[in-house]
Amino acid sequence: MKARLNTHVIGQFVPSQFDEDTIRREFGEQFKEWCSMMQSQWDLEIRTPQTHRNMVVLRGDCDPTIFDWHRDNTIDKEPLTTLIPGRVLLLWSTATPTEIRLRDPSGPEIRVEPFDVVFLDNDECVHRVPPDLDIERWFLRVSFETTS
């Protein structure tokens, strides 16, 4: 019997306009039941096509480890080591979605399509920016600790 993963696609999101304010507002409205799990400490990041151009063309404005398999919010800043427990992410992008796989290097990748919203359990999976990053993509990451 295959174990059910916490990490899974929870829906699709297509904003009415591609600008940061609209994406932030409409994402919060559409996924309010997921966002309601957030405690007061959470982080929402939106990367625009300009951010991605800087990341790829200039290799600036980003942490280079995001192109390697990693988990977010590790305690000692090493990408695969001790992390803050209970950390989860919501990930979304318009193109070349974030690559996700189980922490076990022999584990399968979790397939994600453009516009999918993924609930990612940071304890069970690692992820990375895809090597073939489409610099015209929009990306959203919400990082938070689950409530007990």
**Mind listing the pLDDT tens digit for each residue in 27-66?**
988 987 776 665 545 678 898 988 877 776 665 556 667 7
User: For position 139, what pLDDT does the model report?
Assistant: 94
Give, in order, the Cα–Cα distances in Å from 61 to each of 50, 58, 90, 119: 10, 8, 22, 26
**Mind listing the pLDDT tens digit for each residue in 73-98?**
654 455 555 555 667 889 999 999 99
Q: In Å, how far from its chain's centre is CA 76?
A: 20
Model pTM above 0.85? no
d(CA 7, CA 24) in angstroms, rounded, equals 22
d(CA 85, CA 62) in angstroms, rounded, equals 24
Give the class (CATH, top level) of 8-145.
mainly beta
CA dihedral 32, 89, 11, 138 (to 10 degrees): 100
Type of residue found at 131: P
d(CA 19, CA 142) in angstroms, rounded, equals 17
Read off the tokens for 29.
């409205």
